[in-house]
Amino acid sequence: MGKGKLAKFADMEHYENVFQYPFSVVSDVPFDMKGHWCEQYFHNDNPIILELGCGRGEYTVELAKLYPEMNFIGVDIKGARMWTGATQALKEGLKNVAFLRTNIEIIDRFFDQNEVAEIWLTFSDPQMKNPRKRLTSTFFLNRYRNFLVNKGIIHLKTDSNFLFTYTSYMVEKNNLPVLFRTDDLYHTEGIDDSTKRILSIQTYYESMWIERGLNIKYLKFQLPTEGNLEEPDVEIELDDYRSYHRDKRSSLETSK
């Protein structure tokens, strides 16, 4: 039988690769390692890549194995999920991996200007009714700008047509450079081998969506530091499901 939540939380208290600062804890207290992750934790000068809403941290761990010359940090508020990735990274002796348990809303309290090179958003909740909560909204993109290098890369991998369409409009409205875009990742020709290898990493949610026969979508774009970001003023057809455990909904509904 697997470990229960309490046992996982107890483990994580002692994990050297886990930093736990939910909003209720940090409040207005500064995070000492802000601006010093490389020097104080990774002990190298390598680029830092974040996975936001990492769940069990599949991308964080697998990318870290593929790219030992880069540093990876998985971020999520759910500790019991993160435990899986953190435990695996420790067992496999991966020194280029860390996990941060916090609310993504306050992510810029943990990283300083230019400290992060890339961000992965893997199967994020589409937040169809609440634009501000979408991880590609202007609310979040403005936060990312506080620590992402100029023209830093954002990868969105998703089952959600809603989130994919919303983000595509966001990118178009703000002239953000698109590096790659497909609405059917596993039936797209001409992807080079190393990109294919990266994109074939499957998270827990991805494998469930694939089982349900959904297309996986992928958008890779750059976020320049300059210029005001504006929300796209568009109506988007809602997904006909809301999350893995919820019921189907009418596909006639739309949302801004």
Ligand X SMILES: C[S@@+](CC[C@H](N)C(=O)[O-])C[C@H]1O[C@@H](n2cnc3c(N)ncnc32)[C@H](O)[C@@H]1O
- Find out whether 16 is annotated in a ligand binding site: no
**CA separation, residue 113 to residues 11, 12, 84, 230 (Å):** 32, 28, 30, 22
Tell me which amino acid residue 52 is.
L
Q: Any idea what DSSP says for residue 216?
A: P
* H-run or E-run covering 18: strand 18-20
Residues with Cβ within 8 Å of residue 155, at least 6 apart in sequence: 118, 119, 120, 121, 218, 219, 220
Interacting residue ranges for ligand X, rule: CB under 6 A: 53-55, 76-78, 81, 103-105, 122-125, 203-206
Closest CB 157 distance from ligand X, rounded Å:
8
- Quick one: 46 or 103, whose CB is closer to ligand X? 103
Using the 8-state DSSP alphabet, how is residue 242 labeled? S
Residue with smaller CB distance to ligand X, 40 or 200: 200
130 belongs to an annotated ligand binding site: no
The distance of closest approach from Cβ of residue 105 to ligand X in the complex, given in angstroms and rounded to an integer, is: 5
The verdict on whether residue 205 carries a ligand-binding annotation is: yes
Instruction: Tell the burial category of 132 from Cβ atoms under 10 Å away from its Cβ (0-12, 13-18, 19+).
Output: exposed
Choose the catalytic residue: 11, 112, 125, 240: 125
What is the rounded CA–CA span in Å between residue 65 and residue 94?
7
**Is 125 noted as a catalytic residue in this protein?**
yes
* Ligand-binding site membership of 206 (annotated): yes
Would you say 54 or 63 has its CB closer to ligand X? 54
Q: Which is nearer to ligand X, 38 or 240 (CB)?
A: 240
- List the catalytic residues: 125
Detail the residues annotated as belonging to a binding site for substrate. 159, 203-206
Detail the residues annotated as belonging to a binding site. 51, 76, 103, 125, 159, 203-206
